[in-house]
Chains A and B, each alone.
Chain A
Amino acid sequence: MSNPGRPVWLGKPKPVAVALKALALVLISAVVIFPFLVVVSTSLATKKQIDANGGYVLWPTQISFEAYHQIFNGTQVARSIVISVGVTVVGTAFSLFCTVLAAYGLSRRGSLFQRGLLSFVLLTLLFGPGMIPVYLMVKQLGMLDSYWSLIIPGAVSAFNIVIVRGFIQGIPKELFDAARIDGAGEWRILRSIVLPLSKAVIAVVGLFLAVGYWNNYFSPLLYLNDTQKWPLQLVMRTFVLQNNVTSTAHAIPGYVAPPAQSVQMALVAIATLPILCVYPFLTKHMSKGMLTGAVKG
């Protein structure tokens, strides 16, 4: 048994150790995968099987897409999905716009006010205002019950700016000098040199931002009183969690009976799906890219 991961000097592993290790890994993976299996199975099972089983199904005997039909035909959930997608797309675009511009604007040492502005950005890593003052600010600006309240207040993070800025500073200086000699202005340099060369880091930061916007449930809870405007996470909280837990649930207009177990699970599956879609890209870039660099740096 020779493989690249195991150096020769270590000798042969003991079979007992290998077996124990394999068992541990299988158990760990199972603990993570099992709940997803329950959710997907239950969402695809028929009502009869769920009732017979008492609320969950491990393996549907008969596949039924009834729950998904019901979700996409109902107004409340379907609308919340559209809202979530919209907020995620616009939010990510806006955040990236601010982040990349600021990262480049702060990347040249010795430019006017660069040190001051950089400190202005970095200080926000050390302390932030509490929840209430930000809420009052959003209210003051008349952004309550507007989708912008989900996007703008958290759009700029110093952490993201630092990551993109670090990447831009790694681009060889000669490229910038050459462009400048050829008469390119800052905007031209940004478009023709910085953006094409930092596609990878922009993609990763963008994916993380998108996941954040998609998963956000507290901002809408805080800023949106109008339940018609609620995004998916908040609707899911009402349908799935407060159904089972206790009910200080806000009454949702047009919401009659508690949805069947399968519908709840279908909701969870739908909310998970976009994450699963971008997941391969996230792990690929993340584990070898940004964090490793940060540790060694």
Chain B
Amino acid sequence: MALKQALPRVTAEGSESQITPQKMPFLARLWRDAPLLVMVAPAAIVLLLFTYIPLLGSVVAWMDYVPFLGFTGSDWVGWDNFTALFSDQAFWSAVWNTLQITFLQLLLFFPVPILLAVLLNTVAVPMAKNFVQSVIYLPHFLSWVIIIALFQQVLGGAGVVNRFLITHGLTPFEVMSNPDTFKLLLTTQAIWKDAGWGTIIFLAAIAAIDPGLYESATMDGAGAWRRFWHITLPGMRPIIVLLLILRLGDSLTVGFEQILLQRDAVGPGSAEVLDTFVYYNGVVDGSWGTATAAGLIKGVVSLFLVLAANKIAHRFGEEGVYKR
């Protein structure tokens, strides 16, 4: 959302400064604005140190990096890290897992907040609405460690559900450590944690729809379903498209913390995604070069995905994340 707000403003400022040309000499401006520059300094230094310089540090992807030798002492190896990566079965398996999880979440997770928002919007009793909202927003603020502990307690081998099944003579099912259903488990956890929170933005979109539209549609004989289809849904469309684009741009990012916590339980075969691949190869195994290369590929592809998704949105006449 911030992007949408901020980027057009940057371009707007350019034209504004042309209207009021700065006639002051540079040194006078420097003297006048020095306090402002000092104020920006702490944030700028943090961003420089931990965003921009590490971006340059991505050159490790073309190095046989040895921590002991450092940046200057390690050897350059050209594209070796990349070729090694592309011939690594585990890398492609991580890519495949990542895409599968993204697809599952688009299919199962993405519509849930929209439907929940529509449902909540039809609740006419303010008390009930507020109560349900406060309840379903809550899990968003809990750490993944807590969320998974809760799932463990309810669905785990010794959890509530399985105990219930066992005491009633039924076969228990193990979902917390079953590689076959792991991706569904991830999606379920994501829905439990964030679907409620996700309704906020859709509720705001619905609230912005002119109530007069509903009234005249009803007068013209439109039932609840047609009002939803012809008024509510079109009213939410820009925000749905925007969030879809953001999600598509993030295709290669899937719940890193969430998966890292459970990878050991189901094994890397079904749980290794790009981010965990980078973590285990780099930090755990010390293959700094290949891990950085994998991270770099992810970053570059993600950037192109965002740009491409925006292009498509513009084609369809939507605003997208930034304007043309």
Contacts and interface: CB of A to CB of B under 8 A. Distances in A.
A146 interface: no
B205 interface: yes
Interface stretch (B36-44, B82-90, B93-101, B179-187): B36-44
Contacts of B137: 283, 287
Interface centre among A53, A139, A217, A282 (most CB of B within 10 A): A217
Nearest to B31: A112
Contacts of B2: 125, 158-159, 162-163, 294
A98 B47 CA distance: 11
Interface residues of A, number: 117
Contact of A136 (B54, B149, B163, B205): B54
A162 B146 contact: no
A132 B163 contact: no
Interface in B29-70: 29-30, 32-33, 35-40, 42-44, 46-47, 49-51, 53-55, 57-58, 60, 65, 67
A112 B33 CA distance: 6
A295 B1 contact: yes
Contact of A265 (B14, B46, B153, B211): B153
Contacts, number: 330
B55 A133 contact: yes
A113 B34 CA distance: 10
A6 B124 contact: yes
Given A158-B2, A186-B39, A222-B283, A271 B200 contact: no
Given A129-B55, A134-B54, A121 B43 contact: yes
Contacts of A211: 141
Interface string B182-225: 00000000001000100011011101100100110011000000
Interface stretch (A30-38, A61-69, A72-80, A85-93): A30-38
Contact of A104 (B32, B39, B144, B200): B39
A153 interface: yes
B176 A245 contact: yes
Contacts of A233: 143, 145
Contacts of B288: 132, 136
Contacts of B128: 22, 25
Nearest to B158: A55
B205 to A, nearest CB: 6
B226 interface: no
Interface centre among B35, B133, B298 (most CB of A within 10 A): B35
A144 to B, nearest CB: 11
A152 B163 contact: no
15 contacts: A33-B135, A99-B43, A106-B36, A112-B33, A115-B17, A120-B44, A130-B58, A130-B295, A132-B60, A132-B288, A137-B53, A161-B43, A218-B260, A233-B145, A237-B145
